Amino acid sequence: MSPNLTRRGLLKATAMLGIGGVLVGCSRNTSSSGSASAGAKYRVAYIARAQSDSFAAWLANEMKNAAGQFPDLSLEVFDGQANDDTENTLIENAITNRFNAIIVQPNNGEAQRPYVEKVVAANIIAITTNARIANIPGASSVDANPYDQGAGVAKKALADVPKGGKVVVLNGPAGNFHAIERRKAWQAEFFDKRPDVKIVGEQIANWNKDEGMKLMEDWMTANPQIDAICSMNDNMCAGALEAVGNKPSMGKLFAYGTDGTPEACLLIQSGKMSATTLQSAIDLAKLNIQSVHDLLTGAQKQIDKNIDAPVVDSSNVAQYIDMYKKSNLIK
Please tell me whether residues 233 and 175 are part of one structural domain: yes
Question: What is the per-residue pLDDT for 59?
Answer: 94
> Residue 222 is which amino acid?
A
Q: What is the pLDDT of residues 269-280, one digit of tens each?
A: 999 999 999 999
Task: Report residue 196: phi and psi, to 5°.
Answer: -75, -20
The alpha carbons of the chain give a radius of gyration, in whole angstroms, of 20
Domains identified in the chain, total number: 2
Q: What is the pLDDT of residues 72-130, one digit of tens each?
A: 999 999 999 999 999 999 999 999 999 999 999 999 889 999 999 999 999 999 999 99
Please tell me whether residues 101 and 154 are part of one structural domain: no
Residues across the chain: 331
Residue 151 near residue 171 (C-beta atoms within 8 A): no
Question: What is the per-residue pLDDT for 32?
Answer: 59
Question: What's the rounded mean pLDDT across residues 276-287?
Answer: 95
Q: For residue 39, what are the domain limits?
A: 7-130+281-300
Please tell me whether residues 173 and 58 are part of one structural domain: no
Please tell me whether residues 158 and 179 are part of one structural domain: yes
48 domain residue, yes or no: yes
Q: What is the pLDDT of residues 216-236, one digit of tens each?
A: 999 999 998 999 999 999 999
323 domain residue, yes or no: no
2 domain residue, yes or no: no
Please tell me whether residues 285 and 248 are part of one structural domain: no
Question: What is the per-residue pLDDT for 53?
Answer: 82
Please tell me whether residues 172 and 95 are part of one structural domain: no
The CATH number linked to 233 is 3.40.50.2300
- Judged by DSSP in three states, 201 sits in strand
Please tell me whether residues 70 and 165 are part of one structural domain: no
Q: Is the preceding omega at residue 131 within 30 degrees of 0, hence cis? A: yes
Name which residue leads in pLDDT, 246 or 101.
101
Please tell me whether residues 75 and 177 are part of one structural domain: no
Nearest to 146 by CA among 327, 309, 320: 309
SS (HEC) of 270-283: CCCCCEEEECCHHH
Please tell me whether residues 273 and 152 are part of one structural domain: yes
- Calpha distance 331→326 (Å, rounded): 9
Question: What is the per-residue pLDDT for 10?
Answer: 31
Question: What's the rounded mean pLDDT across residues 154-177?
Answer: 95
256 domain residue, yes or no: yes
Please tell me whether residues 158 and 123 are part of one structural domain: no
3 pLDDT above the threshold of 50: no
Question: What's the rounded mean pLDDT across residues 148-168?
Answer: 97
pTM for the full model? Answer: 0.77
139 domain residue, yes or no: no
329 domain residue, yes or no: no
pLDDT cut 90: percent of the chain above it: 79
Tell me 101's DSSP state: E
Please tell me whether residues 118 and 100 are part of one structural domain: yes
Please tell me whether residues 187 and 126 are part of one structural domain: no
Q: What is the pLDDT of residues 291-304, one digit of tens each?
A: 999 999 999 999 99
164 domain residue, yes or no: yes
Question: What's the rounded mean pLDDT across residues 1-18?
Answer: 32
Bridge partner list, 42? 73
- Calpha distance 320→300 (Å, rounded): 32
Measure CA of the first residue to CA of the last residue in the chain; give whole Å.
36
Q: What pLDDT band is residue 252 in, cutting at 50, 70 and 90? A: confident
319 domain residue, yes or no: no
